[in-house]
Amino acid sequence: MSLTDSDNLPAIPNLELPQSVFILQSENLSHLHEEAHKTLLAGIQNDEMAPFAATLPTSILPERDALVTQFSKANDAVLKEIEQSIAQATENEGESEISEGIRKRAMYYARIGDKSMSIDSITTAIEKTAGIGSKIDLTLTLIRLGMFFSDFNLVVQNIATAKTLVEQGGDWDRRNRLKVYIGLHAASIRDFKLASTQFLDTLSTFTSTELINYDQFVIYTVIVSVFALDRVDLKTKVINAPEVVALMHTKPLIRNFANSLYDCDYALLFKSLAEIEETYLKPSVYLHQHSRYYTREIRIRAYAQLLESYKSLNISSLAKAFGVSEEFIDKEFSKLIPAGRLHCVLDKVTNVVESNRPDSRNKQYQQVVQNGDVLLNSIQKLARVLN
């Protein structure tokens, strides 16, 4: 893995590895363990990651001790060479050569997964770097380190720093990259609306391959946008987007998921949603903790979308439309209606669900009256003060 690249940021640290660790730690993802172990082992070997390997238990990485022994000497040798080049630059060359050596050291620590040394070295490199572009690149590396080690504070602090640097003079490419970083972090904290906005802004100009591969980025874009957008925007911004259309040819699950909600094919939606949960949500280090919330909210949206078209519906018709049992519908609605999530009434005598949509015009009228009362009270108080 190159430490420098004129066109793309290097994928340092390798964010496939925490994904593999997460899978290996999850017993319910045992069917993915073999592939995850291969990815983890290959990543550690390719980047000679002795410090990172040392942090893993042998239950996840049985080869840990051998890998640490094998690569520790190699790490020390590379770092010694880098330190010598920095010392030589300090004695015989200019500030730019010294700064380059410091950045190289910082990126090497990040590459091998030494968290504390990475953060210290990158912070020093930022202080010694003059150009705004290079400062942004190093700050983005700190964000990736935060994601690599699941350090929420490190991610948040450096997103804020990167925003400031971008406003001070970041170019178009770095602005776009930062949007992807913000979007991925937003998705990981359940802010799907912000994630959708950021991802859609960069869908046609995506370059952040150091953070996430392109196909996964498009998949995440569809997932968060189905949650966040209304039907009109979902159609125009996502389903008809050339990047999504191209992916749908090879990912029929994504096609079925997005199209079924728009086309009101609720049986296909529920089937696709279950597969989305098992294929993309639960195995994701970013989204797994939101999988139950996500699937529940999509079901609620589908229920509400269908109920908008009817005054009343037989429970058996509802169950058939969604491809589930009547008992499932009864259980779902019995929880959602009292919680105020669905505007309808479940009549168990007639086995019918009756829509009970709030009158938006009457609500607006009541709001105006209430605001008017507040204003009149304020005027009366002011009048008494003036008198």
Q: What is the CATH number of the domain that holds 152?
A: 1.25.40.570
**d(Cα 331, Cα 167) in Å, to the nearest integer?**
51
Angstrom distances, CA of residue 201 to CA of 220, 245, 328: 13, 17, 38
| Cα dihedral: 224, 251, 13, 64 (round 10) | 120
**d(Cα 308, Cα 36) in Å, to the nearest integer?**
44
- Report, as an integer, the average pLDDT of 190-216: 95
Residue 93's identity, in one-letter code, is: E
Confidence (pLDDT) at 366: 64
Indicate if the pLDDT at residue 37 is higher than 90.
yes
Confidence (pLDDT) at 108: 96
Of 314 and 187, more confident: 187
Last-in-domain residue among 149, 169, 189: 169
| 359 band by pLDDT with thresholds 50, 70 and 90 | low
- Would 55 be classed as within a structural domain? yes
Contacts of 235 (CB under 8 A, 6+ apart): 262
Number of domains within the chain: 2
- Would 281 be classed as within a structural domain? no
Task: Count the alpha carbons within 13 Å of 219 in the hemisphere toward its beta carbon.
Answer: 18
Last-in-domain residue among 128, 148, 169: 169
Of 124 and 170, more confident: 124
| 363 band by pLDDT with thresholds 50, 70 and 90 | low
- Report, as an integer, the average pLDDT of 183-204: 96
User: Which DSSP state fits 11?
Assistant: -
- Would 298 be classed as within a structural domain? no
| 371 band by pLDDT with thresholds 50, 70 and 90 | confident
- Would 362 be classed as within a structural domain? yes
Last-in-domain residue among 113, 135, 169: 169
- Report, as an integer, the average pLDDT of 241-252: 94
Of 112 and 311, more confident: 112
268: its two tokens: 């296909």
Confidence (pLDDT) at 178: 96
Interhelix angle 214-228/252-262, nearest 10 degrees: 20
State the average pLDDT for the chain: 91
Q: Exposure of 108 by Cβ count < 10 A (0-12 exposed, 13-18 middle, 19+ buried)?
A: buried
- Report, as an integer, the average pLDDT of 23-32: 95
- Report, as an integer, the average pLDDT of 321-343: 91
Rg (CA), the chain: 27
| 1 band by pLDDT with thresholds 50, 70 and 90 | very low
Please give the angle made by the CA atoms of 217, 223 and 228, to the nearest 5 degrees. 120
| Alpha helix ranges (H) inside the chain | 16-25, 33-47, 50-54, 64-92, 95-112, 115-128, 132-148, 152-169, 172-188, 192-201, 214-228, 231-233, 242-248, 252-262, 266-276, 291-307, 315-322, 326-336, 360-386
Confidence (pLDDT) at 365: 65
Residue ranges making up the domain that contains 65: 1-169
| 160 band by pLDDT with thresholds 50, 70 and 90 | very high
- Would 59 be classed as within a structural domain? yes
Angstrom distances, CA of residue 21 to CA of 38, 111, 114, 147, 181: 11, 17, 16, 13, 21
Out of 3-17, 194-208, 262-276, pick the least confident. 3-17
Q: What is the pTM of this model?
A: 0.87
38: its two tokens: 């291969």
- Would 232 be classed as within a structural domain? no
- Would 254 be classed as within a structural domain? no
Indicate if the pLDDT at residue 374 is higher than 90.
no
- Report, as an integer, the average pLDDT of 188-194: 97
**d(Cα 179, Cα 201) in Å, to the nearest integer?**
8
Indicate if the pLDDT at residue 310 is higher than 90.
no
Give the CATH number for residue 380. 1.10.10.10
- Would 83 be classed as within a structural domain? yes
226: its two tokens: 């189905």
Indicate if the pLDDT at residue 127 is higher than 50.
yes
